[in-house]
Structure formats: structure tokens, C-alpha cells
Amino acid sequence: MADSTELLVNGDELITMGKFIGAGLACTGMGGAAIGVGLVVGNFLSGALRNPSASAGQTATMFIGIAFAEALGIFSFLVALLLMFM
Amino acid sequence: MAGSAESKFNIHPMDQFVIKPLFGDQSLVWYTYTNQAFWMTLCFLAVVFFFVFGTRHKSIVPGRFQASVEMIYSFVHSMVVDIAGREGLKYFPFIFSLFLLILAGNVLGLLPYSFTFTSHIAVTGFLALLVFISVTLLGFFKNGFKFLSLFWISSAPIALRPILLLIEVISYFVRPVSHSIRLAGNMMAGHAVIKVFAGFAGAMGLGAIAPIIAIMAVYGLEMLVVVIQAYVFTILTCVYLNDALHPGH
């Protein structure tokens, strides 16, 4: 048990270390977003291959679904960027 | 990563989003002409030039330029009619201007050395708040207190309705938050990724061909994302407008 109570790293470096670890953890959110986008597009494809003439009218809905699912991945990427560089 | 003595990266991808005055180094007050104001002016002039110059002949059988102008107009027109119905066409000028502002801002941000003003939460937050407040006021003026039937879902069992009321109210107020952050986050993330790869390319000497190919790939994705994000902002505005004009579950 050491007698002295000083840290081995100083406060600034500890904060930077915490920021980098947090940025790496925040990137795991993008995995869920990728799965969500894949679900939307996969379901659209399986429906479109069964009923091609009806699929042309629903491409707009597919793009809206992609944007919603992707937005949350972008939020987590934004958190990672803000932690890394600010 | 760039081999410097300090323990930080030498890459600064967030420097491209800093707002600075265009001429000289004065302090920023509300009337300073900044680089953001310059790019907004450029987008406005580009849109006005595109539409005025494109329709200057007003020919019945359109040439190439007029056909592209008409395509954009009919694209947004059919989007508004599909989603918000014929009554939504009264608000078509606002939705069209919103679409063109965001599209022009996003696309002009793709040029090198430019400034993407839609990547700032101040701009997109203001636009989303504008849409949210005007749609809510419109809902109350058009429908009176029947607008609140948006939150009271009459097709659900009676026991669930209070919980659904809470969920619906919360998700209604989260709308401007997600609306604004989606656009700002997409723009900021895309440009920051390009800058980070550019930093890698600067540090690698002859092996820089790999980050350069990665930049090309991300740039192509950015071109797609830019148009899709402008489209999604506008189509969500139409959906919120439809909720205000025809509330009802």
C-alpha cells in the first residue's frame, strides 16, 4: 500500500483518456443503426420482389424509413466526434 | 498519430465549422458579415438564378434547362399533394423554399473550401423550430381544440389511452429536436469524416493512395446523403403539416 496519495497521471491527461474511451464506446451505437437500416431495406426488397409493380410507389417510404433509422446512428457518431475533437 | 511529441492528434476536423468574419478580424456581433452569411447569400443567388434563368423563355415545349426546373417543381408538388392533400398546397411556397434552401446549402457545401451552413445546429434548429411552431399554431387555428385529438387515440383500448397520451405528447415535443439534429448531424459527420481521412493522407507520404480512395468513396456517399437529407427534411415537414391539417387517430 503506497503512502503517497498523488495520481500517476495528471488531471488533464485523465480527462483526455476518458474522452477517448468514451468516444470509442459511443461508436457501438452505430452497429444498431446499421442493423436497423438493413432491416428496412431488406424488408422492402423482399416485398418488392414479390410485387414489383407496387414497389415503385413505396420507395419514398423506404427512404423515410432509412433516414429515421440512420439518424440515431448519426447521433451517436456525433457524440463520438464531439468527445474526440472538442 | 502524426508523430508529434504531444499526446493529442494533429488532425482538427472541426476547424472547418468555425464561423469567422469574412473581411478582417473584428469581433463577431450580430451584423458582422461572416462566411456563413456569405454562403447563405450564394445559395440564395444560385437558387434564384436557376429558376429565373431556367424559365426565361416560358416555352410550352421545354428545353433542357426549363425541363429540369419543371422536374424539381413537380417533384415537390407531388410530394406535398401525396402527403398533405390538396389543402396542403396552400403552404406549398413555404415548403418549396425550405426544400430549395436546404438542398442548395447542402450541395454547395460539397465544394472544396466551402462552408456548409446546414451543419450548424443554430440554422437547422431554427428551421425545425419554425416548422414546429407554425404547424402547431396552424393546427389550433384550423381545428380548434379538436387538434388535441391527435394525442387521444380512440382506436386503442380505454385502459391504455392515458399511457399512450403521455407517449404521444412526449414524442410530439421531441419532433423538432430529432428534425434538426438529423440534418445537422448528417452534414457535420460527413464533412468531419472527410477531414479526418484527409489528415491521414497528409501524414502517410507515398501510402496516401489508400486514404485518398477512401475519401473518394465517402465523397460519393456524401453526394447521396446530401440530397436524401434535404428530401427527408421536407417530407417530414409535409407529414407534420398533414397531422396539423387532418388530426385524428
pLDDT tens digits for B90-113?
999 999 999 999 999 999 999 988
- Which stretches in chain A have pLDDT values below 50? none
Calpha distance B214→B197 (Å, rounded): 7
pLDDT at B220: 92
pLDDT at B155: 81
| Amino acid at site B73 | Y
pLDDT at B143: 87
pLDDT at A4: 65
Backbone φ and ψ for B99, nearest 5 degrees, come out as -60, -45
Work out the percent of chain B whose per-residue pLDDT is above 70. 96
Q: Is the predicted pLDDT of residue B1 greater than 50, yes or no?
A: no
Q: A75 contacts in B (CB within 8 Å)?
A: 181, 185
| Amino acid at site A66 | I
Confidence of residue B2 (pLDDT cuts 50, 70, 90): very low
pLDDT at A2: 56
| Amino acid at site B230 | A
Tell me the pTM.
Answer: 0.85
Burial pattern A44-79, b for ≥16 Cβ within 10 A else e, equals beeebeeeeeeeeeeeeebbbbbbbbbbbbbbbbbb
Interchain proximity B235–A75, CB inside 8 Å: no
Residue found under cell 391504455: B160
C-beta of residue B244 within 8 angstroms of C-beta of residue B139: yes
pLDDT at B249: 56
Interchain proximity A77–B8, CB inside 8 Å: no
Interchain proximity B182–A81, CB inside 8 Å: no
Q: B13 contacts in A (CB within 8 Å)?
A: 81, 85
Q: B82 contacts in A (CB within 8 Å)?
A: 60
Q: Is the predicted pLDDT of residue B186 greater than 80, yes or no?
A: yes
pLDDT at A1: 55
Does the beta carbon of A24 lie under 8 angstroms from any beta carbon of chain B? no
Cβ-based neighbour number of residue B163 at 10 Å = 10
Domain-by-domain residue ranges, chain B?
34-54+62-245
pLDDT at B8: 47
Residue found under cell 424488408: A43
The ipTM is: 0.73
